[in-house]
Amino acid sequence: MSPKKRIAMHDHAAEASLFKRRALFTFLCVFVLISILLSNLYQLQVVSFQDYETRSNDNRIRVVPVAPSRGLIYDRHGQLLAENQPFYTLELIPEKAQGITESLDKLNEIIALTPDERESITERLRYHRRFKPLTIKSRLTEEQVATFSVNQHQFPGFRVEAGLKRHYPYEGLMTHVLGYVGKINARDRASLESSGQWKNYAATNDIGKQGIEKFYESLLLGKPGHLEEEVNNRGRVIRTLKVTPPTPGQDIYLTLDLKLQQKAMELLDGRRGSVVAIDPQDGGVLAMVSSPTYDPNLFVHGISSKAYSALLNDKSRPLINRATQGQYSPASTIKPHVALLGLEEKTITEKTRIWDPGFWQIPNVERKYRDWKRWGHGWVDVYSSIMDSCDTFFYDLAYKVGVDKIAQFMSQFGFGESTGIDIYEEANGIMPSKDWKRMRYNQPWYIGDTISVGIGQGYWTTTPLQLTNAATILANHGQRFTPHLLKSFKDETSKIDTPIDEQAPIVLDNDNNWEIINEAMRRTAHKSRFTDATYTAAMKTGTAQVFSVAQDAKYDSETVAEHLRDNALIIAYAPYENPKIVLAVVLENAGWGGVNAGPVARALLDEYMLRDEWKVEE
């Protein structure tokens, strides 16, 4: 018999329980996954909606910055000194052109393209997007623009675009005051990025490089606007959605007087030197000329290496602003200031007289310090010593006062430190003292050093601006202003005058000392250059040695190399009773101050004082 087969019995209850557990687990997994999906959908559609909408629009909408027009610069009478002129470029949109090579050949017949330009265009076309404009030629002349416009129908895809560039109508006349704008370089960009200002330059390639253009860059620049353009996935513009216009830069008005500036440049006539004139009533600079000069327009579009090298290597150094960076011995122009110190210290009085035999000696020292007048001036007092520029009187005075008191007193007149004028290019000059020499040369101070300082020679150097500022303080009887170039600026609604920076005055123990010194300067002017003037002036000339002459040697300008000849200087102001202008003239290697710088000062004061505006006041 065959064995009985086993019959399998199913546990339906267990199977049902297992099914339920598996179904529940599966349901929970599906629920969790759906929850995650819904959560992500909520995150994308609700929580992050704004973020993704912005990203989507950024892919669809392109923001193009629009450059503002740079603020204009005027003189005190509203004469335009720096403007914005249109410039034209010829552009090509490759996808709209019909036969680019043939078109360029035809274009060359009406607007000449150099071989280098043709090669550059061909090279750039290889990597250029066909729907974007490519610059073919920049800085088109008006004649070229007109010629192309007449023939434009023959050049599909070609167009002329206009922009604005800085232009200086008076070329080199104002260069060292206005400065210039130039292309933003890597150093400029790094500085702008570190200061957080780079966004303001998104639409422009230019920035102020020197002078007023640099100092007041924030006023002149303006704020960029923008265009919102709809583009496709390839970046091609479909339409313009929104235009936000730029805010133009603010126009500024300077204290400069254009006519006086022109007269000063005319009088210098290319000679190396400087003229600075100041309005003593507020410290405003009326004229600031440095000669020789150069045309700042060369830098606006980018100066060539050859042209820049020529300026850089020019022996006359036209790139230097002699008015604020040239450092010269003040020579006899500071004798009124030294005499004022002597009066204050009671080392001399109005009636003090000394005998000048033509030289002076330190007690018990053999060396003789020669007067410019070899046979001497005889008996001199404070008036005649300034009028005749007697060196011997000031040798003796400097010896008695000492260099430290001279340095301390002269620092009140601004010697040895920057004036604070509103351009960055300014030198401090040197106001020597015992401590200065020890720090600079690690050498002791000698009495002979003091004697040289007493007549504005030796280590003492000053800029023409400092010299004018010191003369202004003298003419104002101690009242001091910070020299400045900005008179006012014009915003969207009105013209706003800038505040005058008046410093604490110089207070003397005896106010009559101001009168003594200024009277001596009035007599000096009346005796020489201004005997026939219809106004009353005051002045002091100076002749500064560029190199030392041996004690027994005689200076002969005819045998000395031109660059070693004396510098000619003068300070002057008018009218004496109520000064309206103070000026300083420095002529390098010109020789005698009164003979060479004197006529320049007289002509400038005539130009300013004989105007109708003063006649009306009188």
Active site residues: 332
Residue 99 backbone zone (phi > 0: left; psi -120 to 50: alpha; other: beta): left
Q: Give the C-alpha separation, 136 to 438, whole Å.
A: 62
Where do the H-state alpha helices sit in 317-389? 322-325, 335-344, 382-387
Q: Is 282 annotated as a binding residue?
A: no
Structure tokens at 54: 């912005």
Largest CA distance in the chain: 170
- The number of beta carbons lying within 10 Å of the beta carbon of residue 20 is 10
On the 0-12 / 13-18 / 19+ scale of CB atoms within 10 A, 479 is middle
- The number of beta carbons lying within 10 Å of the beta carbon of residue 561 is 9
Where do the H-state alpha helices sit in 210-301? 211-215, 217-221, 258-268, 297-300
Helices 100-110 & 142-151 angle (0-180, nearest 10): 130
Q: Give the C-alpha separation, 314 to 601, whole Å.
A: 28
Q: Is 371 annotated as a binding residue?
A: yes
204 Cβ partners below 8 Å, 6+ apart? 67, 68, 184, 221, 224
Structure tokens at 414: 């601004």
Q: Which helix (H) or strand (E) holds 90?
A: strand 80-92
Output the CA torsion sign for 134, 135, 136, 141: positive
Beta-sheet strands, E only, within 351-500: 354-356, 359-360, 369-370, 378-380, 480-481, 486-490, 495-497
Residues written for the chain = 618
Listed residue (239, 205, 216, 241) closest to 67, CA to CA: 205
Listed residue (210, 320, 307) closest to 272, CA to CA: 320
Structure tokens at 478: 């101690």
Is the preceding omega at residue 169 within 30 degrees of 0, hence cis? no
Listed residue (421, 445, 414, 276) closest to 337, CA to CA: 414
Q: Is 377 annotated as a binding residue?
A: yes
Q: Is 128 annotated as a binding residue?
A: no
Is the preceding omega at residue 575 within 30 degrees of 0, hence cis? yes
Structure tokens at 255: 């204290």
Range 115-121, long-range pairs (CB < 8 A, 24+ positions): 121/92
Q: Give the C-alpha separation, 476 to 582, whole Å.
A: 10
Is residue 536 within 8 A of residue 567, CB to CB? The reply is: no
Structure tokens at 286: 């009326």
Tell me how far CA of residue 496 lies from CA of 250, 258, 490, in angstroms: 11, 21, 6
- Check residue 274 and report its DSSP letter: E
Residues annotated within a binding site = 356, 371, 377, 390
Residues annotated within a binding site for Zn(2+) = 356, 371, 377, 390
